[in-house]
């Protein structure tokens, strides 16, 4: 990844943070996007720089199209190009369908679907030939979990867009894939879950544990490599055999 510029949305914590750090270790220049957690984003930048890498933080709420456009403008102005995009920014909702308000629905879809769509649109217009787009999905689309209706519905849209965009951008040598984690040890995932629940979820994998953010980050980095140039339009489940 030496000499490549990667934009990671929602990179101040969790899986996004791990992706940014992994790509920084692999000598990519990393654009660390955040919405409100500036201090955490700056910590990610400092850690990449302390390891000899190059990074800069960029604020943008990806649910706002104008802010997405400005984000790409700023990243290209600073680094000169965008080669890879990782659409990681997302919010989770764990609520029965009959209790979801219109405002809550719009908030989830505003980030997880609208935001990802318009980030992909900017990438389609601005990525260098031979670029990579990796969309972060979820293994929840393959299991019938109650209370995940809004979240699973939105992430299902991510898988479909990934397939369509792979066909649209293939002529420019741009690959488009989705990486779909299973239960992963992040603050967002742990919220509201007991240790018993976490242990039960871990027992559903082949390795008797839940995933770590670094597990997901390494899969993303692999898809950014030249060795993955023939992989496109795929949803890759990175979940330790939690679900197939």
Largest CA distance in the chain: 50
84 three-class SS:
strand
Question: Is 148 part of the annotated catalytic residue set?
Answer: no
Tell me the CA distances in angstroms from 109 to 8, 39, 144, one per residue in order: 19, 26, 20
DSSP secondary structure string, 33-54? EESS-HHHHHHHHHHHHHTT-E
Q: Judge contact between 148 and 103, C-beta under 8 A.
A: no
Instruction: Give me Rg for the CA atoms of the chain.
Output: 17
Which residues make Cβ contacts (< 8 Å) with residue 135, sequence separation at least 6? 87, 116, 120, 158, 161, 162, 176, 177, 178, 179
Residue with tokens 């488009």: 176
Task: Sort 76 into a burial class: Cβ within 10 Å, 0-12 / 13-18 / 19+.
Answer: middle
The active-site residue, picked from 148, 151, 189, 242, is 151
Q: Give catalytic residue positions.
A: 151
């Amino acid at each position: 990844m030496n000499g490549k510029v990667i934009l990671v949305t929602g990179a101040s914590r969790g899986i996004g943070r791990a992706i940014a750090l992994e790509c920084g270790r692999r000598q990519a220049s990393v654009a660390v996007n955040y919405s409100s957690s500036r201090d955490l984003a700056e910590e990610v930048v400092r850690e990449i720089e302390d390891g000899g890498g190059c990074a800069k933080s960029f604020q943008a709420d990806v649910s706002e199209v104008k802010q997405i456009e400005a984000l790409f403008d700023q990243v290209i102005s600073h680094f000169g190009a965008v080669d890879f995009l990782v659409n990681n920014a997302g919010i989770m909702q764990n609520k029965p369908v009959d209790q979801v308000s219109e405002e809550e629905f719009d908030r989830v879809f505003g980030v997880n679907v609208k935001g990802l769509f318009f980030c992909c649109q900017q990438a389609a217009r601005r990525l260098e030939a031979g670029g990579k787009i990796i969309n972060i999905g979820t293994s929840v689309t393959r299991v019938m979990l109650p209370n995940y209706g809004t979240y699973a519905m939105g992430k299902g849209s991510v898988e479909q867009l990934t397939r369509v965009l792979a066909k649209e951008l293939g002529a420019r040598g741009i690959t488009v894939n989705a990486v779909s984690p299973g239960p992963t040890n992040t603050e967002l995932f742990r919220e509201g879950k007991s240790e018993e629940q976490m242990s039960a979820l871990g027992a559903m994998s082949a390795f008797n544990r839940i995933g770590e953010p670094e597990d997901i980050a390494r899969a993303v980095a692999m898809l950014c490599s030249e060795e993955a140039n023939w992989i496109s339009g795929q949803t890759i489940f990175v979940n330790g055999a939690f679900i197939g």
